[in-house]
Structure 1
Amino acid sequence: MIRINLIPYRDARRQQQIVHHLSIFFAVVVIAVLLAMGAHTTASMQLSDLKEETIRVQQQNAELKKKIGKIENLANLRGDVERKLDIVDRLQEGRFRSLKTLHEIAKVIPDNVWIKSVKDGGDTIELSGLGESNKAVANFMRKLDQSPLFSNIQLLVISRITVDGLPVRTFSLNMSRIDELPDRKKASAAANKGGKG
């Protein structure tokens, strides 16, 4: 009878199975390590991108803060300029107002009346001066009353004095100044009256 010894075959097969299992195990371990390294690399790249994006956003934020600061400064400067322009406008108005007042007084003053002082108190004006007679002062007051710029003419005091040996009257009077409407307001008022009629 022929005997076949199968023990070496079984041992070889068992060794072959162990090698096969070990190779599968190592392959799984290598794949797991590669997957972990890939995930780590991807996460590192994403983290790097996020850091770059954060830096870029911070730079944009700093630039925007600078621009907002400039805009706030511009708004403050604009407010200052507007306030200064308003002051200049008021000063210009006052200057032309005084000029118109003096021009109107010069237009209506008779030859025999002389002005010593003019005090402009805004809406009221105080005049003091000399007149040749009571009649000359009365004539001056009448002309002031007929002027479109003045109203409510009131004689405060009139008295007789002598200047260089000549008898004259010293007087003081108050009057109200009537402000004229600016041209734009006049046009608007005229249009409103025309529209109502």
Structure 2
Amino acid sequence: MNLRLNLLPWRERQRLVELRNFRLVFLGSLFAAFVVVMLVDRFAHLRLKQQAAAGLQRQQQLQSLDGQVARLEQLREAHAGLRRQVDALGALRSSQQGVPQLLMEIELAMPHGMQLTRLDVQGDRLQINGLAVSPAVLAQFMRDLQRSPILLDLELKHVLARAGGDAFSLVARVVAS
């Protein structure tokens, strides 16, 4: 066993002071490191809370924007529906503009002794049913209708002799004016 003897007491005191200083510096460094770690942890938690709050706020903004987009889509669909209705009404209006002219042409072509019982317009097809007092009146009516610029392909479908006159059915194609 080898014991080390220190014959100078001031060296022992100096060694103890250095050991105490080392312990103080070590404990101080350990405490400072602990404080730094705690501060970093606290800042990290604070930053995490801020990011969570910002994420929640962005989520709410996205939900609000999604609601606005949904309302915009509904408005677009409603606008498209209204546009289709306006177009359909325009088409009806344009097809109705020819009806008064068609009725005027039929009225001008109707001779005395003729009675119409049915007038049916479906698309570009016209069907006229009526009663004529004689075949000559019916022939005159057909000649006058053939002169009309809006009626094409006039065709007599059938004629039935009755007591009050001849029942007839005519078909023609209507052209837009």
Give the TM-score range, shorter chain: 0.7 to 0.9
2:171 to 159, 171, 175: 175
- Kindly indicate whether residue 160 of structure 2 is the aligned counterpart of residue 146 of structure 1: no
State the TM-score, normalized to the length of structure 1. Answer: 0.72
Q: Provide the rounded CA distance (Å) in 1 between the counterparts of 2:142 and 2:171.
A: 10
Structure 1 residues 16 and 85: alpha-carbon distance in aligned structure 2, compared to 1, 3 A threshold: same
State the TM-score, normalized to the length of structure 2. Answer: 0.79
Residue by residue over 1:132-164, the C-alpha shift from the partner in whole angstroms, topping out at 9 and shown as x without a partner, is 43332212111100101112222334455554x
Q: Provide the rounded CA distance (Å) in 1 between the counterparts of 2:99 and 2:175.
A: 11
Give secondary structure in 2 for the equivalent of 1:147.
coil
Q: What is residue 189 of structure 1 aligned with on the other side?
A: none
Q: Provide the rounded CA distance (Å) in 1 between the counterparts of 2:23 and 2:51.
A: 41
Q: Give the percent of matched residue pairs that are identical in Structure 1 and Structure 2.
A: 21
Give secondary structure in 2 for the equivalent of 1:47.
helix
Give secondary structure in 1 for the equivalent of 2:153.
strand
Give secondary structure in 1 for the equivalent of 2:118.
strand
Q: Provide the rounded CA distance (Å) in 2 between the counterparts of 1:123 and 1:117.
A: 16
For residue 27 of structure 1, report the CA deviation from its aligned partner: 2.2
Unaligned runs of 5+ in 2: 1-6
Q: Provide the rounded CA distance (Å) in 1 between the counterparts of 2:110 and 2:119.
A: 13
Query: What is the aligned-residue RMSD (CA, Å)?
Result: 2.6
Structure 1 residues 11 and 121: alpha-carbon distance in aligned structure 2, compared to 1, 3 A threshold: closer
Count of residues in correspondence between the two structures:
171
Q: Provide the rounded CA distance (Å) in 2 between the counterparts of 1:158 and 1:29.
A: 120
Residue by residue over 1:107-153, the C-alpha shift from the partner in whole angstroms, topping out at 9 and shown as x without a partner, is 22223433232232433322233334333221211110010111222
